[in-house]
Structure 1
């Protein structure tokens, strides 16, 4: 057998017993079998199997068995009171807590007589037994004895097997077994061992407040193979999977590749499930894998001011790769290049971005950080990027900023990976190939969606949530529904949602409407309808993706402002008062006010230079300063990308106000 059975505690569910039961250990001797041991103690083989389920697969010499023995030294008079019950049909939104208050009984007493509730959620339409009056111990004993498989109560004839609420991992049967707690075992380790959630384990053992070695508790019967004992050292800890998390998010969270997570957690071969207990690196711990260690959410939410930590004042070697298309300039025609700038958006973006780079280099110089800045024209082709790297000296380069596009960035990262030179893409939000030296400074659309969903789930309590999603966004709708089971849906018909239907779903409190679509006509229809209803209702409009359709002239910003429009964004609205000196200096130098690309160039470059000046290299700066950095419009917090390299997951949740100003709704 796999466990030492130390019985100092048995069934904490009982406070008294009609016939007290004692137990002892039996150490298996050579030549003994279950039959002989049962004869020795004058008990049946079934009783041995009851307390030692693994014995059905055979017993080994020196293994210890729990043996029930009669204890006749103490008996107590069994109460003659028989437990009375009422049958209660569960209504929508009813919980065990509400039932316990309604019938003035404890939640534990309800579970005792409805054994499936130790492992399953209360379901609408099922009938449960509610104990009333004095509860006899014989009834309790019967209720918590080894149970038969539980058949869920039908909610209707058309749905004989009710589906558990989304995200809930439900045990397949009501069968349980006993587990003796070993030294250093935790709730997480035991739950993981038996394929349970921590909530399920706690529900099965309501009287257990703190685990102690030798304590006997109830667990499920689905034992994970290959992991008989789960006791962790100081390199690892347990993590319980939250609703809607996936391997991509977890690999980023813990700084591990998906393959590494699967190696640490063999159960992942069958897929990730809500409530699973995973073995992960200790927060801030060291890893021999060469990957950046996980630093934790609490540190991510700490703002770092790298200006106070400058200690590496060696000159920084910085290369900027951007598509200037200088090959199109004719020697005798500067005006020709001006035409190129006006006609090619990528070239305009590159020049604006580079102007911000130069501003950052000059500001860094005033802080004592000197920079050798070189810039090259990529001509917007991967071939030219490769030619540049092959022909130029990159040996002592501390970091490369650019190129702009995915293909050219991947070409640069691939060529410089062997030298471990960081390549920072400034603007692309597309998922890129995994190179260990590739940094994506702009969060992907997936990261932004999940951040917004986290915000909505964390702040939706007490709100009347209405979800509007077109068929293209069915998966987002499903995820939002799982996170907020009480949310209601207003499905669009064509390019509109019935205004009458929307009106009927409003209440007198706070109404949150989540709109998931890139259909311009649907956005226009919904925002116009909600704007009219906002005269009599408190309505907030939210989306997990503010796509280009929201910037169309057909969408009224006044409507969005009145609806307190919430959305995720990489950039925030910069404070003109706080940035006055920067704007004045930029206008003096370039003759125009800086646009978003110029400010982005400044923010990103200054962040890179400050990180290089506060550590030996860019990689070490993340270990030394695990929080986020923030500048005029952008902030940065890099996590290991599951596919290789690093990605910035810092962003803003913005709110459009009625006066059309923009403020931070929440700071991620």
Structure 2
């Protein structure tokens, strides 16, 4: 009996700290427990420990003392014992947050394509509510049964046609519309500023639209101005911004991005204790400052804008008629976080005086590169605290050290030798005159029986020869300024066994830097050797990230396709948030990289609050595969930029679809979103890319106007008798960059790369750690844009900012 009593007491002690869903507690009722007065309170969406202490006039330690464990975070539906403070008017306390749900809708997951984010969106709840009322769900699996909460207020509004229901947390409204005779999906989409597909997503039965049917239709609130994410209220003496978790983001990546510990992030956002769900809105603490985020080289080139509460990049972009990428360009920290109220940001002034004509006729006007001049005029520097270990000591004389570099490339030497060697039968009559031939018959003359002729390269080995030539010129440049570099070159072919003999030799241990091998399957063993012996190893061309994720001494120069997709989505969301966005479906794109971009774009537009709004983006999926080109004109806009994306990498599909979209380019303004593979598609006419203003993210793009690039080209032609190609530039850039880092900072240069300034002809390297215990990937990419006047322009999206030592002022 005593054991049973103890068990019951233990249960009662635990009860107040567990979620109790579906129960209705008397609002603000006072109860007496062991002679003390308490208010029994059920936690609601959006409440925090801090907000409850303010609401009930109780200290945080006292609240935690009576509710053990809440310091780890609150859970929706959890019942708390709150010490009653005399004088508190419980009847007039604010009850803005939701209470317990009126009930639950039973829902079974129908497809593997569904996510917590899409289900929450479908039923008008938040991701936090999704997980709170389905605590056992950790992974979204087909046929999983869910409890979807609903509240009485929403149910009452459903009874009224065209009633408005606010969508929690996103600044959206769900419009309840009753279909009348004559209405179509197309007319409803136009009426509410949404798309036919979005209506069907929320109302699958709407595929067969009938009079009297009640539909849920998403629409932004009238007068959209509050765009998510927003700065949130100060909590005590701290300032916070909101961050919406996007698909693919990780806990570690977010902590690195905002320079915050995982423990602190979880303490501020209890939902993160059980996962990292896409769609959740979390708080991020930031330092408050009214100083500019960057220091301009020319003060007169910028004005300072003091960020007010609720202001967004979207709003500032419209206010100053400047693109969001340009705002970020001049305020580099905004590439990593949102605006904070109270801080100052730089807004560029118009360059009205920079090209002013001189007053005197005696002054000669020199023809200058205006783009270069503007770049220097608007240059900004980011003040940082550079670690002492990353400040080069220029006072120390050169030590005379020799740096050993191992270069692994697939030259296929034997295959090339066989391919280009030819046995010749010598026709003596072609070598001698008739008289000389007679003499030769009586004379012993040793003739060359075999002659080497160069015909062609084996496979793609020519590319790696060009890369090697770029490496040689980089090392030559270092030799010319007094550094000793010893280059050991190894032919890897494409076989892991072909290189094992090289790095297992004793003398290989003296290597300071490894460049290559090219192919990931050949890299595996030597990368493990490099990690064990703390030798930095550079992967110059491969884009796979498997080794990068686990090897802290590995440097991946070519960004992964996944990263390029995310950067493309970021670019489109920032530059085309007020557009008519059209997905031209040529085939099933589910489970493809191209399909991933579609979902990322939908997610970004939704999170911004601008999806299908009058001042935002219309998002339409057009079934080109089944409907052909005839309906394209119907969904084009005369008032907005028509931004088209075709989620396919099949050249045949792309060629047909692009050709049909191009037929409309004389009537509508169209921007085609593509990839860096597009210029390689020979079946698509270059003229169409210019007509459609093709735009894509590229990791490499050679700046032929730069004087250093011009000098390299001249030097290359002088040494090798031909023009350099992309592999030549890459070989030079990679070798010079990493040898500079090695010479400047030593073998452990990884932590100092953010503070190293180095010119690359093909881009702007920006290495970031990929995982907590892994290596580094280059995140420096550019936007490439084709113009209608047949120009191809490059605009920097992300790269190494110009850093300066932070002052104490």
> Which structure 2 residues correspond to residues 586-665 of structure 1 after superposition, within 5 A?
586-617=716-747, 619-620=748-749, 622-623=751-752, 625-626=754-755, 629-642=758-771, 644-665=774-795
> Which structure 2 residues correspond to residues 163-562 of structure 1 after superposition, within 5 A?
210-212=234-236, 240-247=243-250, 250=253, 254=257, 267=272, 269-277=274-282, 311=394, 313=398, 314-328=401-415, 342-391=456-505, 393-433=507-547, 434-469=550-585, 470-472=587-589, 473-484=594-605, 485-486=611-612, 487-494=618-625, 497-543=628-674, 545-547=675-677, 551-562=680-691
- CA drift of 1:425 comes to 0.8
Q: Provide Cα deviations, 1:236-294, integer angstroms capped at 9, x if missing partner.
A: x9873444452299269549999999999882643423344378999xxxxxxxxxxxx
| C-alpha distance in 1 between matches for 2:87 and 2:754 | 61
| C-alpha distance in 1 between matches for 2:690 and 2:241 | 44
- CA drift of 1:539 comes to 1.5
| C-alpha distance in 1 between matches for 2:524 and 2:260 | 19
CA contact (8 A) 1:465 1:488 kept: yes
Cα distance change of structure 1 residues 388 and 255 upon mapping to structure 2, 3 Å threshold: farther
Secondary structure (helix, strand or coil) at the match of 1:123 reads strand
Secondary structure (helix, strand or coil) at the match of 1:530 reads helix
| C-alpha distance in 1 between matches for 2:35 and 2:260 | 52
Of the three residues 162, 175, 180, the one matched with 1:125 is 175
CA contact (8 A) 1:468 1:492 kept: yes
Q: Provide Cα deviations, 1:486-526, integer angstroms capped at 9, x if missing partner.
A: 33224233388424424542223422222321122332223
Cα distance change of structure 1 residues 511 and 599 upon mapping to structure 2, 3 Å threshold: same
Q: Provide Cα deviations, 1:544-569, integer angstroms capped at 9, x if missing partner.
A: x3436x52332010111121110111
Q: Provide Cα deviations, 1:575-607, integer angstroms capped at 9, x if missing partner.
A: 156322211111111111111111110111111
Cα distance change of structure 1 residues 36 and 163 upon mapping to structure 2, 3 Å threshold: farther
Cα distance change of structure 1 residues 326 and 450 upon mapping to structure 2, 3 Å threshold: same
| C-alpha distance in 2 between matches for 1:630 and 1:329 | 34
| C-alpha distance in 2 between matches for 1:649 and 1:45 | 51
| C-alpha distance in 2 between matches for 1:320 and 1:255 | 37
| C-alpha distance in 2 between matches for 1:70 and 1:539 | 61
Cα distance change of structure 1 residues 453 and 391 upon mapping to structure 2, 3 Å threshold: same
Q: Match of 1:285?
A: none
Secondary structure (helix, strand or coil) at the match of 1:407 reads helix
Q: Provide Cα deviations, 1:394-451, integer angstroms capped at 9, x if missing partner.
A: 3232210011111112221012211110110111112232222111111011111111
| C-alpha distance in 2 between matches for 1:257 and 1:403 | 36
| C-alpha distance in 1 between matches for 2:452 and 2:694 | 39
| C-alpha distance in 1 between matches for 2:751 and 2:486 | 23
Which range moves more in the overlay, 473-482 or 255-264?
Answer: 255-264
- CA drift of 1:535 comes to 1.2
| C-alpha distance in 1 between matches for 2:256 and 2:579 | 29
Cα distance change of structure 1 residues 246 and 455 upon mapping to structure 2, 3 Å threshold: same
Secondary structure (helix, strand or coil) at the match of 2:541 reads coil
| C-alpha distance in 2 between matches for 1:115 and 1:481 | 22
| C-alpha distance in 2 between matches for 1:379 and 1:261 | 49
Secondary structure (helix, strand or coil) at the match of 2:504 reads helix
Cα distance change of structure 1 residues 253 and 405 upon mapping to structure 2, 3 Å threshold: farther
| C-alpha distance in 1 between matches for 2:256 and 2:461 | 36
Secondary structure (helix, strand or coil) at the match of 2:774 reads coil
Backbone CA RMSD of aligned residues: 5.0
CA contact (8 A) 2:63 2:83 kept: no
- CA drift of 1:211 comes to 3.7
- CA drift of 1:342 comes to 2.6
Of the three residues 70, 80, 83, the one matched with 1:65 is 83
Cα distance change of structure 1 residues 621 and 468 upon mapping to structure 2, 3 Å threshold: same
- CA drift of 1:649 comes to 1.2
| C-alpha distance in 1 between matches for 2:174 and 2:419 | 80
CA contact (8 A) 2:165 2:174 kept: no
Cα distance change of structure 1 residues 508 and 67 upon mapping to structure 2, 3 Å threshold: closer
| C-alpha distance in 1 between matches for 2:382 and 2:730 | 19
Q: Match of 1:77?
A: none
- CA drift of 1:480 comes to 1.1
Q: Match of 2:291?
A: none
Cα distance change of structure 1 residues 542 and 298 upon mapping to structure 2, 3 Å threshold: closer
CA contact (8 A) 1:464 1:512 kept: yes
Cα distance change of structure 1 residues 155 and 354 upon mapping to structure 2, 3 Å threshold: closer
- CA drift of 1:123 comes to 1.7
Q: Match of 1:89?
A: none
Question: Normalized against structure 2, the TM-score is what?
Answer: 0.52
Q: Provide Cα deviations, 1:64-117, integer angstroms capped at 9, x if missing partner.
A: 82324389xxxxxxxxxxxxxxxxxxxxxxxxxxxxxxxxxxxxxxxxxx9977
Cα distance change of structure 1 residues 635 and 374 upon mapping to structure 2, 3 Å threshold: same
| C-alpha distance in 1 between matches for 2:576 and 2:733 | 33
CA contact (8 A) 1:574 1:632 kept: yes
- CA drift of 1:665 comes to 3.6
Q: Match of 1:145?
A: none
CA contact (8 A) 1:426 1:442 kept: yes
Cα distance change of structure 1 residues 122 and 398 upon mapping to structure 2, 3 Å threshold: same
- CA drift of 1:476 comes to 2.3
Q: Match of 2:715?
A: 585
